[in-house]
Amino acid sequence: MSGGIGGKPSSEPAADSADAVRERLRLDVPLGAVAPRAGGGWIAAAGPGIALLDVSDGAGSGSADIEIDWLARPFDNSLVPMRMNDGVADPAGRFWAGAMPYDGTTGAGRLFRVDPDGSVHAVLEGLTVPNGPAFSSDGTTMYLADSARGVILQYRVGEDGGIDGPAAVFATVDDASPDGMTVDADGYVWSALWGGRRLHRYSPGGSLVDVVPVPAAQPTSIAFSIRAPHRLLVTTATHGLTEPGLLDGATLVTSTTVAGLPTATFGAQV
């Protein structure tokens, strides 16, 4: 999938190999993130809002038609130019997605939640560049990076999807920006470090336990493969680089000793 600046990598097996790619969809707005939907199709954080995506039967030809059903476009007339950024489905079948200001205006970022019935709710304000989010296996803990601040925050999530109490600081990074995240089967949090050429793996208590070098300047996000659970997919970006390297703007693959959690689907409980 393409449509501009990318965020979270899909955990589809096609991402394991360039030779395995079978379809390419193009939007006319920047695509931040997608998650699979129960019954088929995708939910996407893209451009000014959040939409449902359905692909025609011609998918696989390399130029599939796509039907877009916008659930909300909160930034069509925003005084501060904004775009949707990273997003993910949680184990309860909800979709969470952040929005960021193009110009980096401090505190202009937000986090939205989409319930399985398609209703869209603004749940957090005062962020700048929200990335992630990622969830514990039971969905009661949410990890959310504010990349501009170099911090990963931790929130308690209620059964109804409400945020229970204030954020706790889970981890901080001084020399890079925490970007996309995922949680593995042991409950440890993986974070891509934009500008840091590495991944961090944190214990559930927030201790840094592993550092994985990445041969690219700007790792953007992480996902575990559904074809090979111990295979980790890492996306990288060329944005802002005057001389991008061969592995900037790519999807990289590495093996791990731990597996990922099942991929959550919008509209279905894990």
Residue type, 22: R
Burial 87-106 (b: 16+ CB within 10 A, else e): bbbbbbbbbbbbbbbeeeee
37 marked among binding-site residues: no
Strand order in the sheet with 82-89: 82-89, 95-101, 109-114, 120-127
Burial 181-205 (b: 16+ CB within 10 A, else e): bbbbeeebbbbbbbebebbbbbeee
Q: Are the CB atoms for 95 and 266 separated by under 8 Å?
A: yes
Query: Residue 81's CB: how many other CB atoms inside 10 A?
Result: 12
Q: Are the CB atoms for 123 and 141 separated by under 8 Å?
A: no
146 marked among binding-site residues: no
179 in active site? yes
Q: How many helices (H) and strands (E) does the chain have?
A: 0, 19
Catalytic residue among 179, 184, 186, 210: 179
Residue type, 46: A
Per DSSP, what are the bridge partners of residue 230? none
167-175 long-range CB contacts below 8 Å, 24 or more apart? 170/143, 170/202, 170/206, 171/200, 171/202, 171/206, 171/208, 173/200, 174/150
77 marked among binding-site residues: no
Binding-site annotation, residues for substrate: 83, 85, 103
Binding-site annotation, residues for a divalent metal cation: 131, 179
Which residues are known catalytic residues? Answer: 179
Binding-site annotation, residues: 83, 85, 103, 131, 179
